[in-house]
């Protein structure tokens, strides 16, 4: 098997799966995903940075990322490690959980945990995760089996996570992660402006005028609430959108031009810095 592979199934468009066999070859800059994501460490050790917290992770640990929460995961002293990553469409997972009675309203609720270690539970979540991943990429596994295993796993896990969260709250124990308060309206307007036209880069003066604050205050405040500076936020959004365009069949050169990268090489470098793979590899393994 090559070092890094992606799987996508048009019959299960809500899921994207990635397998990395040699994590020493991947290095992530801080970034976020629009999907809810869950990864399984299958070998070795690594360092998981999730917002302001840092975790040492090892074989059989599961790591989770809420949509839009900034994170990175990288090797430790060039030690080998390997992992699965599963990216789950947030709207689909929210509706699935709501229809199963796990949410009172069809609105995403951030998961309080950053990770699940083997010693944290009696249920074998790691083994179940790997069973789903293996079935997803198995050509001999039929569609109904893939869908059944996936949905059963996700709903069982969401139910367990909800119960664990309630238990922690009842016992007055601190949560591993707490949602940040909503950003002030001015900062939400800045984020909206950045997302309005991903092919343009606003001037800092435009952003400070919109937020009605100084340059230093804007940069610090924006990073506090969104986990990235305004420029890094814009670049992250461009890469997220580029993945959608690539999956829709757009040529790499056209994607680079549409998203205002100076040239294809610039786009490829940025894409790899945030996704630890090249656009060509992302397409080839899809």
| Domain CATH number, residue 240 | 1.10.10.60
The beta strand positions in 9-135, using DSSP E, are: 15-20, 36-50, 53-58, 62-65, 71-75, 81-88, 115-116
Whether 107 and 162 map to the same domain: the answer is: yes
Which of 183, 197, 213 has its CA nearest to residue 205? 213
Phi, psi of 40 (to 5 degrees): -120, 125
Q: Give the per-residue pLDDT at 112.
A: 87
Whether 228 and 149 map to the same domain: the answer is: no
Q: How many CB atoms lie within 10 A of CB 50?
A: 21
pLDDT tens, the chain, 286 aa long? 346 789 999 999 999 999 999 888 788 999 999 999 999 999 999 999 999 899 999 999 999 999 999 999 999 998 999 999 999 999 999 999 999 999 999 999 999 899 999 987 767 999 999 999 999 999 899 999 999 999 999 999 999 998 876 444 433 333 445 555 557 899 999 999 999 989 999 999 999 999 999 999 999 999 999 999 999 999 999 999 999 999 999 999 999 999 999 899 999 999 999 999 999 999 886 5
In a domain, 177, yes or no: no
Report whether 66 contacts 111 (CB < 8 A): yes
Domains of the chain: total = 2
Q: Give the per-residue pLDDT at 23.
A: 87
* Dist. CA 211–CA 215, nearest whole Å: 10
Which of 113, 144, 170 is the last residue before a domain boundary?
170
Report whether 109 contacts 166 (CB < 8 A): no
Domain, as residue range, for 261: 185-284
Which residues face 17 on adjacent strands? 7, 86
Q: Give the per-residue pLDDT at 167.
A: 45
In a domain, 178, yes or no: no
Q: Give the per-residue pLDDT at 255.
A: 97
Report whether 67 contacts 108 (CB < 8 A): yes
| CATH value at residue 120 | 2.60.120.280
pTM of this prediction? 0.86
Whether 207 and 82 map to the same domain: the answer is: no
């Amino acid at each position: 098997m090559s070092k890094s592979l992606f799987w996508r199934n048009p019959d299960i468009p809500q899921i994207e799966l990635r397998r990395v066999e040699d994590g020493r070859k991947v290095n992530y800059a801080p970034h976020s995903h629009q999907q809810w994501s869950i990864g399984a460490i299958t070998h070795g050790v690594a360092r998981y940075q999730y917002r302001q917290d840092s975790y040492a992770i090892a074989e059989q640990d599961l790591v989770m990322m809420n949509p839009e929460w900034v994170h990175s995961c990288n090797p430790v002293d060039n030690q080998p490690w390997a992992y699965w990553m599963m990216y789950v469409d947030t709207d689909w997972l929210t509706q699935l959980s709501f229809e199963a009675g796990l949410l009172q309203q069809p609105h995403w609720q951030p998961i309080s945990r950053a990770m699940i270690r083997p010693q944290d539970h009696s249920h074998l979540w790691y083994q179940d995760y790997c069973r789903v991943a293996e079935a997803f990429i198995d050509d001999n596994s039929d569609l109904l089996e893939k869908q059944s295993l996936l949905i059963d796993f996700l709903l069982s896990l969401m139910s367990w996570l909800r119960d664990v969260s309630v238990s922690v709250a009842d016992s007055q124990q601190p949560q591993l992660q707490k949602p940040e308060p909503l950003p002030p309206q001015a900062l939400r307007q800045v984020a909206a402006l950045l997302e309005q036209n991903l092919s343009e880069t606003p001037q800092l003066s435009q952003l400070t005028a919109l937020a009605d604050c100084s340059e230093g205050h804007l940069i610090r405040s924006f990073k506090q609430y969104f986990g990235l500076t305004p420029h890094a936020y814009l670049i992250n959004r461009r890469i997220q959108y580029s993945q959608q365009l690539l999956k829709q069949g757009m040529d790499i050169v056209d994607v680079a031009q549409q998203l205002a990268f100076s040239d294809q090489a610039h786009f490829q470098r940025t894409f790899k810095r945030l996704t630890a793979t090249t656009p060509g590899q992302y397409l080839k393994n899809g």
